[in-house]
Each structure stands twice: as structure tokens, then as C-alpha cells.
Amino acid sequence: MPSRPLRIIHTTSSLMGGGMEHFVLRLAGAQRALGHDARILALRGGPLEAHADRLGIPTIVLGGASTAGRVVRGAAALARLHPDVMHSHNPTSLQYGVLGKMVSGARLVFTDHRGIVRVPATIEWLLTDAVIAVSRDTARQSPASAVVDVAVIYNGVDPPAPKRTRAEVRADLGLGEGPVALHVANFLPVKGHDILMRALGKTKELGVALTLVTAGDGPERPAIEAQARSLGLGPDQVRFLGFRSDVPDLLAAADFFVLPSRMEGLPLAVLEAMSHGLPIVTTRIGGNPEVVTDGEHGLLVPVEDPDALAAALARFAGDPELRRKLGEAGRQRVAKEFSFSEMTRKYEAIYDRLVSP
């Protein structure tokens, strides 16, 4: 741990319900528990703003449609708070990490979660004191790697226990006793909801008994719900729950987890599902193969391949013993290799190196 408490400001583009935003809240909360003054600066608000308030994590939401206005408000707040460390978590918010460094002299850390919305300018990388990637694949793909060294710190999880039993959650959702696949992700094109609906349509045609429960929200949700209707997928095949704050309960109710993304860094949703003993169906992309070994912790399928995805869904739906075996192997691996406390310690070591005289 650094020799003195630090003021740390994490910057992110929003407080929506994605894995990266949850990561920021958990890391800030852990740092506050260690005695640091950790805060969050977000360009836009979202459902997690209330969650941060419940956790006692101070947040600043810049808001507004004008970039110039956000910059002025951000500069004023950062100059007043005078952080020791700015920690940015996506390319959009890196600009505000640089701003914080300029107005306060803070050291700047960037974690690349493999979210490509904007490619930072070379000068932003040069002003960043440490660039971290969440997987080896992310490090290779990071645009920062052409300019600076990129280290790897795997995401870690400390899964909260469910508050309700499997039977209680299933009864509440009316799921019955058949196999249930869980999908947790924001409704964005990169998450592959459209491929998942096509695969689910194929499992229905094959007569596979399977219900998909999908939790999350976002701009693509109306289109995906319309696609499900066009494929004849009713409540026996798919349930759209929207944003949920009880994901551990949903994990307890599910039989396996599916994430058919087109691009990933190291998805926390997969790690959390594995920590609850669920086997995984996911795409062979990004950091996924670094966590899920095909046939050992889950099933890996090609990107943009609804036929292969449908086959994997059907295989898990019909083989409870395979689910149990792979799920237990995944649970043991996450407990051993993807500890949240170890991840936090590694970030602490980076802060210590940067702020030490």
C-alpha cells in the first residue's frame, strides 16, 4: 500500500450498468476501504450513480451536451479536488484524466478494457504514466502499444453471495425446472445480441428445451426484442429483464452463462459467472480464451456464427453432468487466478511507484 492515503479520481464515460462501470465502482470502493479518498468522475450519469451513493463513493457527473462545458466543469472540479492519481478507464474519459494531470499535477493511469469508441492522440499516451491492459490480447491490440509500454493486470472478482435461493428466483420469474441460460450485457452491437437471437431461433427449431434470461439495457434493446418476435421467440425461449441490480440472484437461478460478443477485453460478467460455478458459452475473441479453456471451463465458439452458438447452447441444455463438471472447474480457476484483492494490490503497487518521491 502507498505510504500515505491518496486522493484517487477514476474517470469513465458514464455510470451505465456495464461491466467496466461495475469494475470502477468496486475498485473505488475497495480503495476507500483501504483508507484512500477514491472518487468517480463520469461524463454522463446512469443507474449506477445511485449505487455509488449507497456505497458511499463520491461521484461527479459532468453532464451536458457541450464538450466545452464539460471540460470547464471538469477542470474546475479537478483543480479544487487536487488528486494524487487520475485513473481513466476508457478512451473517451482519458481526455479528462489528462485534464486532471494538467490542472493538478496528478499522476495518470489508464486501464484499457478494450472499449474502442475513440482513439486517443499520441500526446495523450505520452502524458499517461502507466497503461494497463486487462488481458494479453488487449495489450497486443491497444493503440497505446505503438507509443508506450503496456502492462497486463487481469480483472479480478469478489462475487457477492445471492440473497435469494435458486428456487425463489425461478419461482419469481416463472422459469420452471428446465435449463436456463443467463446473458448479462448492455444492449450494444458489440455484445452480439442479434447473433444470440438467431442461435436461439435455431435451438427452438431443433426442439431444444431452453430458456434464455437476458439482463441489461441499452439503445439496441428495442431492435433485439423486435428480432425475437420476428423469430417466434416467446417467453418460453427468452426473457428480457432490463437493468438488474440482483445479478448474483440470477446467476444462482441459471444453469450456464452465454456471452457471444464481437469484441472483448476480459469480461467481468464471465468471471462472475464462473465464480458462481456456471459453465460458459462465449466467443473465441479478446481475452475470453485466456480465461475459458474450451472443453475445460466452457465452450468457445467462433464470432458471428449462430449455428456454432446454437450447437453449444443445445449441448449444455441437454447435459447436466457436463455443466456441473465444467462449472466447478471454472469456479476453482477464478478463485485461484482472478482474485479481486490481488488485482487491487497490483494497482496499489503502481500508484505507489508513481507517487513515491
For residue 97, being part of any structural domain is answered with yes
> CA-CA distance, 86 to 137, in Å (whole number)?
24
- With pLDDT > 90 as the criterion, what percentage of the chain qualifies? 85
Residues 28-46 have a mean pLDDT of: 95
Strands, E assignment, the chain: 7-12, 37-42, 59-61, 85-88, 107-112, 130-133, 150-152, 180-184, 211-215, 238-242, 256-259, 280-283, 298-301
Residue 180 structural domain: 166-337
Residues 299-309 have a mean pLDDT of: 98
Q: Say yes or no: 330 and 343 in one domain.
A: no
Contact, 96 vs 41, CB < 8 A? Answer: yes
Tell me the pLDDT tens digit for each residue of 178-219.
Answer: 999 999 999 999 999 999 999 999 999 999 999 999 999 999
In this prediction, residue 2 has a pLDDT band, given cuts at 50, 70 and 90, of low
- With pLDDT > 70 as the criterion, what percentage of the chain qualifies? 98
- List the end-to-end C-alpha distance of the chain, in Å, as a whole number: 15
What pLDDT sits at residue 114?
82
Q: Say yes or no: 135 and 211 in one domain.
A: no
For 59, residues 6+ apart whose C-beta sits below 8 A from its C-beta are 15, 39, 40, 41, 42, 49, 52, 53
For residue 29, being part of any structural domain is answered with yes
Tell me the pLDDT tens digit for each residue of 106-151.
Answer: 999 999 988 666 788 999 999 999 999 999 999 998 889 989 999 9
Residue 159 has pLDDT above 90, yes or no: no
Contact, 120 vs 231, CB < 8 A? Answer: no
What pLDDT sits at residue 205?
96
3-class SS letters over 281-349: EEECCCCHHHHCCECCCEEEECCCCHHHHHHHHHHHHCCHHHHHHHHHHHHHHHHHHCEHHHHHHHHHH
pTM of the complete model? 0.87
Q: Say yes or no: 312 and 239 in one domain.
A: yes
For residue 87, being part of any structural domain is answered with yes
Residue 45 has pLDDT above 80, yes or no: yes
Q: Say yes or no: 127 and 239 in one domain.
A: no
What pLDDT sits at residue 47?
87
Q: Say yes or no: 212 and 287 in one domain.
A: yes
Select from 227, 256, 237 the least CA-distant residue to 175: 237
> CA-CA distance, 260 to 114, in Å (whole number)?
16
Q: Say yes or no: 345 and 333 in one domain.
A: no
Residue 1 has pLDDT above 70, yes or no: no
CATH of the domain at 193: 3.40.50.2000
For residue 161, being part of any structural domain is answered with no
Q: Say yes or no: 207 and 258 in one domain.
A: yes
Residue 317: CB atoms within 10 A of its CB come to 21
> CA-CA distance, 270 to 281, in Å (whole number)?
9
Q: Say yes or no: 199 and 133 in one domain.
A: no
**Per-chain mean pLDDT for the chain:** 94
Range among 42-51, 58-67, 137-146, 340-349 with highest mean pLDDT value: 340-349
What pLDDT sits at residue 3?
65
Order the strands of the 211-215 sheet from edge to edge: 238-242, 211-215, 180-184, 256-259, 280-283, 298-301
- Residue 272 DSSP class: H
Q: Say yes or no: 323 and 346 in one domain.
A: no
Q: Give me the sign of the Cα torsion angle 67, 70, 76, 81.
A: negative
CA angle 275/142/293 to nearest 5° reads: 35
For residue 107, being part of any structural domain is answered with yes
For residue 305, being part of any structural domain is answered with yes
> CA-CA distance, 144 to 297, in Å (whole number)?
31
For residue 49, being part of any structural domain is answered with yes
Q: Say yes or no: 28 and 117 in one domain.
A: yes
Q: Say yes or no: 252 and 125 in one domain.
A: no
For residue 2, being part of any structural domain is answered with no
> CA-CA distance, 282 to 312, in Å (whole number)?
9
Q: Say yes or no: 320 and 343 in one domain.
A: no
Tell me the pLDDT tens digit for each residue of 220-252.
Answer: 999 999 999 999 999 999 999 999 989 999 999
At residue 257, the 3 state secondary structure works out as strand
How many domains in the chain?
2
Tell me the pLDDT tens digit for each residue of 267-278.
Answer: 999 999 999 999
> CA-CA distance, 301 to 106, in Å (whole number)?
43
